[in-house]
Structures are given as structure tokens and as C-alpha cells.
């Protein structure tokens, strides 16, 4: 079921997907650009010797200095602004005092609230130079996200997005994490519908103009199983294989998709800047 996001029904309904209007797109554009600017800010800061806590401090101060709100700080008890997920950490790594080492690869995920709208995005970064297999995994993960976004348009289904991602990733003999997925968002951080990154063509809800959600595939070099550490947050691969993730917040338009969280500085792929010059048509047009 779909409802206009501004209606009273949307505030009551639980199993509905909100459809947003032009003002809402403007709100998401501002929030998405804010979040992307945080990730841009961190690009030159990631290097061996830096702690993820220091990166978190930079991000938090930048966000507060602009009058924005860090959505993760205090969210369900989460203690930090960023999620920093290093090497075999799949997602929700908590920034801490351990300095990055040469060759560490990490996902940095941030969600910024601007005027009530949530911009949620993540990219992969490298401290120094990454091992070849890590570079390959990160390239595959970015391409998987791009293919998922390219499958998103009115009339397509949530399953089409998952199918595009899963078939590509598995053809590279990597695996798609099942325990975490993309999500609707807007004035709510995690809203209907779940965007599972594995699926079958034609299955799931039909995409309609005005839907807002994230596409955020987590891809493992080994098997897709994850476990959660004692801290209650940190998700790691069960087989301790490397994991990577990229995330954009997007909106379905009349004829395609708008990416709210594109990097204003063009730093779309910090792990491999040369990839940024081969943006998919969907990205290049936005
Ligand atoms: N930004 C994450 C996402 O993509 C959510 C992190 S929730 C937190 O949905 F509490 F762990 F920060
Ligand atoms: Co996120
Ligand atoms: Co998200």
C-alpha cells in the first residue's frame, strides 16, 4: 500500500510505503548533500596512524557547525556519529582508539538530518595502499550498488534491484549479505520498505515516483554469514573474510531515479578515484 507522505494516513500507517512530493525531494537533496559533504571531508583524513575516533570527532564537529544533526548519535543507544567498519567488519563498526594500519580498508557510513530529512550514505576508504583482493572487492561492491541504482525506476520492483545486485556479485564469486538491507527513509531514518540486496525479478513492491530509500549492498569475499560482536553493534563476517559496502539515498522520479547523496566534490569512490570517472548513466545525469 502506498500513501502520500504528507497525509495523516502516512503518520498512522505501518505497512505503507510513503510517496513524496517536490518539496520533499528538495529536503532530501539538502540532507543528502550534507551527508555527502561529511564523507568528502574525510577523504584526505583517512591514512595509517589515524584513529576512527578522530575521524568521528571531525565529522561530528562539521555536522554541528552547520546546524545539522548526526542521526546515529544516540540512535537506539549507538554511541557515535559515524559507523567505521574495517576489513572483515560488515557494518556498524564503532569508532574507537585503534589507529588505522597500512592497507586497512574501511567503510565510513554517516546519516545527517537537515530540516527533519535524513541523508544516509557510505563509501569505502583505504589507509595507504590496499591489497589487490581488497581493491577488487571494493570495485565489485561499488559496481553492484551502481547496478542496483540503475535498476530503480517507476514500474520496476524491489526484487529487480536485488536481482541486479545479486547476479552481478555472485558472477564475481563474491556473496551478498542477507542480514542487513537498504530501507525506506525521509523524515523517518529507517522506514518501509526493506531493500534486500538479493532477489528475484518482478518480486516485491512496485517502485513508484516519490518513493525514497537507500541502496547499500554489503559484499563479502567469502560467505555471506555474519555475527554480531559483544558490543551489540559490530557485525563481522563469520568466516572473517573481507567485506565492503557502498550506500546512496535515492528517490524514484517520474522517469528514473535521483541520487541525493552524490559527492559534490566528485569523490564518489575514495578507495579508487579512477572509478569515479566511469559513473553509470543514472549517476552522471543526476
Ligand atoms: N547508517 C546505517 C544505515 O545505513 C545505520 C546505522 S545505525 C547505527 O542504515 F545506529 F548503527 F548508527
Ligand atoms: Co548508512
Ligand atoms: Co542506510
pLDDT greater at residue 278 or residue 161: 161
pTM of the model: 0.96
Q: Which of 219, 218, 212 is nearest to 259 (CA)?
A: 212
Asked if the model's pLDDT at residue 11 lies above 90, the reply is no
Atom 7 of ligand 1: nearest residue by CA position? 72
Q: Which atom of ligand 1 is nearest to the CA of 110?
A: 1
Residues 6+ apart with CB under 8 A from 16: 1, 2, 3, 9, 10, 192
> What whole-number distance in Å separates Cα of residue 49 and Cα of residue 41?
18
State residue 15 phi and psi, 5-degree precision: -100, 40
Report CA torsion sign: 87, 89, 93, 98: negative
Q: Which atom of ligand 1 is nearest to the CA of 190?
A: 9
pLDDT in tens, 24-83: 999 999 999 999 999 999 999 999 999 999 999 999 999 999 999 999 999 999 999 999
- Element of type H or E holding 136: helix 132-150
| Cα 108 to averaged position of ligand 2 atoms, centre (Å) | 8
What pLDDT is attached to residue 285? 44
- Element of type H or E holding 18: strand 17-19
> How many other C-beta atoms can be found within 10 angstroms of the C-beta atom of residue 85?
27
Give the pocket of ligand 1 (CB within 6 Å): 72, 75-76, 78, 83, 92, 109, 111, 120, 214, 216, 233, 247
Instruction: Let me know if residue 247 belongs to a domain.
Output: yes
Cβ-contact 261, 32 below 8 angstroms? yes
| Cα 69 to averaged position of ligand 2 atoms, centre (Å) | 14
DSSP-derived secondary structure for 178-236: SSS-EEE-SSSSSEEEEE-SS--TT-SPBP-TT-EEEE--EEESS-S-EEE-TTS--EE
What pLDDT is attached to residue 10? 67
For 191, what's the count of Cα atoms within 13 Å in the CB-facing half-sphere? 24
Determine the residue of 120, 232, 235 to mutate for testing ligand 1's pocket, defined as the one with the most ligand atoms within 8 A of the Cβ atom.
120
pLDDT greater at residue 277 or residue 67: 67
Interior/surface letters 20-44, b for 16+ CB within 10 angstroms, e for the rest: beeebbebbbbbbbbbbbbbbbbee
Residue owning grid cell 510517496: 19
Instruction: Let me know if residue 285 belongs to a domain.
Output: no
Determine the residue of 83, 89, 120 to mutate for testing ligand 1's pocket, defined as the one with the most ligand atoms within 8 A of the Cβ atom.
83
Judged on CB neighbours under 10 Å (0-12, 13-18, 19+), 276 is: middle
Instruction: Let me know if residue 74 belongs to a domain.
Output: yes
Instruction: Let me know if residue 166 belongs to a domain.
Output: yes
User: Based on the structure, what is the number of domains in the chain?
Assistant: 1
Judged on CB neighbours under 10 Å (0-12, 13-18, 19+), 255 is: exposed
The overall longest dimension of the chain from CA atoms, in Å, is 52
| Cα 231 to averaged position of ligand 2 atoms, centre (Å) | 19
Alpha carbon separation from 148 to 11, 33, 113, 153, 249 (Å, rounded): 29, 20, 24, 10, 12
Interior/surface letters 46-71, b for 16+ CB within 10 angstroms, e for the rest: beeeeebbebbebbbebbeeeebbbb
Which residues make up the environment of ion ligand 3, defined by Cβ < 5 Å?
120, 214
Instruction: Let me know if residue 111 belongs to a domain.
Output: yes
Which residues make up the environment of ion ligand 2, defined by Cβ < 5 Å?
109, 120, 247
Asked if the model's pLDDT at residue 197 lies above 90, the reply is yes
Instruction: Let me know if residue 284 belongs to a domain.
Output: no
Rounded percentage of the chain residues whose pLDDT exceeds 90: 91
Instruction: Let me know if residue 286 belongs to a domain.
Output: no
Average pLDDT value for the chain: 95
Determine the residue of 56, 60, 90, 91 to mutate for testing ligand 1's pocket, defined as the one with the most ligand atoms within 8 A of the Cβ atom.
91
Give the mean model confidence (pLDDT) for residues 92-111.
98
Residue 66: domain span = 3-278
Give the mean model confidence (pLDDT) for residues 126-139.
98
| Cα 37 to averaged position of ligand 2 atoms, centre (Å) | 14
Determine the residue of 52, 72, 184, 192 to mutate for testing ligand 1's pocket, defined as the one with the most ligand atoms within 8 A of the Cβ atom.
72
Instruction: Let me know if residue 283 belongs to a domain.
Output: no
CATH assignment at residue 108: 3.90.230.10
Atom 4 of ligand 1: nearest residue by CA position? 120
> How many other C-beta atoms can be found within 10 angstroms of the C-beta atom of residue 199?
21
pLDDT in tens, 207-256: 999 999 999 999 999 999 999 999 999 999 999 999 999 999 999 999 99
Amino acid at each position: 500500500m502506498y500513501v502520500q507522505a504528507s497525509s495523516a494516513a502516512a503518520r498512522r500507517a505501518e505497512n505503507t510505503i510513503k510517496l513524496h512530493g517536490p518539496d520533499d525531494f528538495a529536503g532530501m537533496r539538502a540532507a543528502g548533500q550534507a551527508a555527502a559533504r561529511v564523507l568528502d571531508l574525510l577523504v584526505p583524513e583517512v591514512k595509517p596512524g589515524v584513529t576512527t575516533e578522530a575521524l568521528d570527532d571531525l565529522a561530528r564537529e562539521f555536522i554541528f557547525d552547520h546546524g545539522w544533526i548526526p542521526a546515529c548519535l544516540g540512535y537506539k543507544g549507538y554511541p557515535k556519529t559515524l559507523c567505521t567498519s574495517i576489513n572483515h567488519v560488515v557494518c556498524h563498526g564503532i569508532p574507537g582508539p585503534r589507529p588505522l594500519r597500512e592497507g586497512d580498508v574501511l567503510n565510513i557510513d554517516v546519516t545527517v538530518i537537515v530540516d527533519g530529512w535524513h541523508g544516509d550514505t557510505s563509501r569505502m576508504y583505504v589507509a595507504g595502499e590496499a591489497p589487490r583482493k581488497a581493491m577488487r572487492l571494493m570495485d565489485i561492491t561499488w559496481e553492484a550498488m551502481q547496478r542496483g541504482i540503475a535498476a530503480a525506476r517507476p514500474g520496476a520492483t524491489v526484487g529487480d534491484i536485488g536481482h541486479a545486485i545479486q547476479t552481478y556479485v555472485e558472477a564475481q564469486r563474491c556473496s551478498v549479505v542477507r542480514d542487513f538491507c537498504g530501507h525506506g527513509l525521509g523524515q523517518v531514518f529507517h522506514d518501509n520498505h526493506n531493500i534486500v540486496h538479493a532477489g528475484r525479478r518482478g518480486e516485491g513492491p512496485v517502485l513508484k515516483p516519490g518513493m525514497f530509500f537507500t541502496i547499500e549492498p554489503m559484499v563479502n569475499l567469502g560467505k555471506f554469514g555474519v555475527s554480531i560482536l559483544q558490543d551489540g553493534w559490530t557485525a563481522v563476517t563469520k568466516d572473517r573474510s573481507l567485506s565492503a559496502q557502498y550506500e546512496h539515498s535515492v528517490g524514484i522520479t517520474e522517469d528514473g531515479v535521483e541520487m541525493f547523496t552524490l559527492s559534490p566534490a566528485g569523490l564518489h569512490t575514495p578507495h579508487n578515484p579512477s572509478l569515479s570517472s566511469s559513473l553509470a548513466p543514472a549517476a552522471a545525469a543526476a
